[in-house]
Structure 1
Amino acid sequence: MVVNGGGTGIRRWVVGWTGASGAVYGVKLCKELLAAGIEVHLVVSDAGWRVLKEELGWDAARRQDSLAAGLGLAEESRLRYYPNGDIGAAIASGSFRCEGMAVVPCSMGTLAAIAHGTADNLLTRAADVTLKEGRPLLLVPRETPLNAIHLENMLKLARLGVRMIPAMPAFYHGPQTLEDAVNFVVGKVLDGMNVPHRLFRRWGETDDNT
């Protein structure tokens, strides 16, 4: 995939998908970002590819084709995909300019690696760079129940300014479908990225959003 632009005035985010259940959250987030005209620099862990296969039926052996089909990409798009083993990719450097990074969904293993600075692959290195450069880092942990190790790692990152957005759908907006529940979580991530959306009815809004 080819990224258009990259110059002044084009918004740019790094997105990571990991092996936690909830691959649909990451897919929906990327679709929304691309539809908003935002450059997406995507890295997917090997476990993330397995979850994409198990939950969404993606062909993990044909990754570029799966991304194009699953995200509905045109021949040219604002998405750039990096293999997780490409530790020398652009997003591994602090000189790479972007607004921040979101890991959606975020496994407990990835969360622990970020919390302890174990930057041994591109995804965790990109997250480490995001932290050291003082850029927004948003994590969507998807695990239950949570043990003390999970909670301590989340607290450590939260104290560093990392935004924790657990995959916890709300019900005040009257979700009728699974897509409605997914949209709520993704909408909260977009709020944290300062990206306008209409994925769910906010508290106090009417059905016609007036």
Structure 2
Amino acid sequence: MHNIVLFGPPGAGKGTQSQKLIAKYHLVHLSTGDLLRAQIAEGTELGLRAKKLMDEGLLVPDEVVIGMIGHALEKNKAAAGFIFDGFPRTVAQAESLDKLLAGHSTGVASMVALEVGEEELVKRLLERGKTSGRTDDQDESRIRRRVQVYNTETAQVAGHYASQGKFHSLNGIGEIEDIFGQISAIIDRHKPSTDQDVPAAATKEVKA
């Protein structure tokens, strides 16, 4: 099983690259936000617990998020691997994810971070805000806060994976295909030797 953590600040092109990686390597895309919404919609025990906390204005604890990821792993046992989108965000989450994956006889193969300067990110997001309809893409001060939070979180998690020889940083400015090629090269270098090519029909989208 081949598992990848893909990081990038808002506007770095992470979403575009995620979809290309999913198509090429037939990975299951795991976004904690999507998992959370799906669990709440299904009315699962974890979803109800998360909703109660959110309704009270509280953060969903790591143990609940990890539980949702564990549920997704169980439902996709035949997957070629997973791409973790924007998770883990703290060292504690990274350690919990490592433990969870180890329980499934697998682990994170590589963490790839797309690096883009703050001014370029602000420019991209303000442009995106003209069509995305997202209010957080239309307020420069909010955009800068999001970038700062990302930089703080990533610095911590990067150190965790760097200590394992799994952290890789790439320039996120350039042609989409060029960046994709660089990410693919990193993934191929760290791809478990037991991985086999999977037919395109095995490609999966987000499941909770």
Same fold (TM over 0.5): no
Higher relative contact order (CA 8 A, sep 6+): 2
* Greater share of residues in helix: 2
What TM-score bracket applies, with the shorter chain setting the length? Answer: 0.3 to 0.5
TM-score, length-scaled by structure 1? 0.42
